[in-house]
Structure 1
Amino acid sequence: MKVVIVEDELAASENLAFLLKNLEGSIEILAVLDSVKASIAYFSKNNEAELVFMDIHLADGLSFEIFDSIKIEAPIIFTTAYDQYSLQAFKVNSIDYLLKPIDEDELASSLEQYKGQFKGKGLYGDQVTGLLNLMNTKKTAYKSMYLVPHRDELIPLKTENMAYLYIDTGIVKAVTNDNQTYIMEQNLEDLESDLDPSEFFRLNRQFIVRRDVISGIKQYFNGKLIVNVIPPSPEKIVVSRAKSPEFKNWMNQ
């Protein structure tokens, strides 16, 4: 299978290439493209790709801009960090997606889906238009407040007052800007979906952090990052090498 990767983060493209080779040794990576401009130039002259993996946010714009200039005949699997609402939109448009950081089992499932369903189907104008419209439709129902138990009552906790949420021995806790801790009834996955992704980020399996409370980011071994927050977290917050590019992009927005 001949594959093209469109991804502007070197670590992310190398990780995807490694996973692909690990799953199917016969896969040939024809090119790794890091921008809209480079992609237009490449696909204008080459149509050998049988499958394209494409990040949405590239260094010089959204990858959807590529389709304003050229038509890519190969099916496309998007790699994305968008929330669940947007991911459902991809499925509606019969376009597959992989949520970053890419999981090997999910990648294997996408490859099987490609073989059984998408082979020979390109991404056409009406699909791109529908996808763009859905991506431009903002989710307005993000949570602004939760009722949380405190002693013998329920008190309103505004999300703007949350510094971070984390799992402590199986219990989800919210730490506020003034360093108060409350037990949450929701699990971390539901909280991740409910909170505005422009303000909150899932750093790892244990922590969701609000942008405003990040006080520093340190380089760690093997490409990992350590995130410092105020108030200080009860334990070290480590971002994996695979998720670091996504986190950096989010911080740069």
Structure 2
Amino acid sequence: MTALIIEDELPSARRLERLLNGFDIQVLGNLTSIKASISWFQNNQQTDILFLDIQLADGLCFEILEIINISSKIIFTTAFPKYSIKAFDFDGISYLLKPINEEKLKLAIEKAKQLHQKDKSYEQLKKALQDFETEVYKTSFTVKVGNKIKIIAADDVELFYSFENATFLKSKEGNYIINQSLTSLESDLNPKFFFRVNRTFIVHINAIKDIISYTNSRLKLVLETYNDQEIIVSRERVKKFKNWID
């Protein structure tokens, strides 16, 4: 069997390819964007299975499906568990949550072989994902200040960061400890406005004052008020970051 991977996180794509090689599935390509994917389909024969990341750096994967008539069996992948609760609650779709588990990958491949996928299923999924943005991203956060509870709007957050095994929310008014890890926060934050630049920081797009070239093809961010530590966009995230701010 042959497969194509469309995934903009290169470590995830490489890991998936290694797993597929273990199932004797030949990966014919690793693509990272909608534009590159459309070009590939226009110039190559389709594979038996397509692994399709839902949220790519330049948009949702459905832009590909609207232009290309896909004959491959599709296995959708997503890093957001909340997508699965609503978006996949109907027949005709095979999907995997990242990081991908080897046993679940095997089951998804078997399911994909048996599915008779229909355009209606994709339309349902697309609508569910469009609704997702307005329904589940957090618009405010509660923090404890002494014996009081303070509500901070998501738009007023400059960044989230980890320090000494704690997670902090930084607004113009101050720093506050919150009871969530950065990893769990990622699925609660609207990716149009928040971006995880490295393992320590998630920044709000409106808080970025300057972007400066840094060593080893990285970028340094200067924010409106936060200056406790340097904020460096990790090398593997620079391309996705540039697409995000466009």
TM tier, smaller: 0.7 to 0.9
Query: Contact 1:55 / 1:78 at 8 angstroms: preserved in 2?
Result: yes
Could you tell me which amino acid in structure 1 is paired with residue 138 of structure 2?
K
Aligned residues: 238
Q: Could you tell me whether the CA contact under 8 Å between 1:72 and 1:122 is conserved in 2?
A: no
- CA apart distance, 1:121: 3.2
Deviation at 1:207, TM superposition (A): 2.1
CA offsets per residue over residues 20-42 of structure 1, 9 Å max, x none?
A: 45332644333456536425524
| 1:135 has 2:129 as partner | yes
**Counterparts of 1:235 and 1:190, CA distance in 2:** 22
1:130 aligns to what SS in structure 2? helix
* Unaligned 5+ runs, structure 1: none
1:136 match: secondary structure: helix
Q: How far apart are the structure 1 equivalents of 2:158 and 2:142?
A: 16
Q: Is 2:3 the counterpart of 1:3?
A: yes
Matched, 1:95 2:94: yes
Deviation at 1:134, TM superposition (A): 0.9
Taking structure 1 as reference, are residues 27 and 228 closer, same or farther at Cα in structure 2, changes over 3 Å only? farther
Shift in CA distance, 189/57, structure 1 to aligned 2, threshold 3 Å: closer
Q: Which amino acid aligns with 2:88?
A: K
Q: Percent identity?
A: 29
Tell me which moved more, 141-150 or 58-67: 58-67
Q: Secondary structure at the match of 2:109?
A: helix
How many angstroms apart in 2 are the aligned matches of 1:68 and 1:86? 20
Q: Among 210, 215, 220, which residue is 2:209 paired with?
A: 215
- How do 1:1-253 and structure 2 match up within 5 A? 1-6=1-6, 12=9, 15=11, 18-23=14-19, 24=21, 26-31=24-29, 35=35, 37-42=38-43, 46-47=45-46, 49-56=47-54, 62-68=60-66, 71-80=69-78, 83-93=80-90, 94-97=93-96, 99=98, 103=99, 106=100, 108-109=102-103, 111-121=105-115, 123-137=117-131, 138-178=133-173, 180-219=174-213, 224-252=218-246
For 1:242 and 1:230, how far apart are their aligned partners in 2? 25
Task: Compare 213-222 and 198-207 and name the one that shifted more.
Answer: 213-222
Partners of 1:219 and 1:122 lie apart in 2 by: 49
Choose 153-162 or 16-25, whichever is displaced more. 16-25
Contact in 2 for aligned 1:225/1:240 (Cα 8 Å): yes
CA distance in 2: counterparts of 1:175 and 1:230, whole angstroms: 11
* CA distance 1:235–1:61, shift in 2 (3 Å): closer
Q: Root-mean-square deviation (CA), in Å?
A: 3.5
User: Is the CA contact 2:75–2:112 (under 8 Å) kept in the aligned structure 1?
Assistant: no
Output the TM-score relative to the length of structure 1: 0.72
Give unmatched runs, 5+ long, in structure 2: none
- CA distance in 1 between partners of 2:141 and 2:56 (Å): 35
How far apart are residue 131 of structure 1 and its match? 1.0
- Which structure has more RCO (C-alpha within 8 Å, separation ≥ 6)? 1
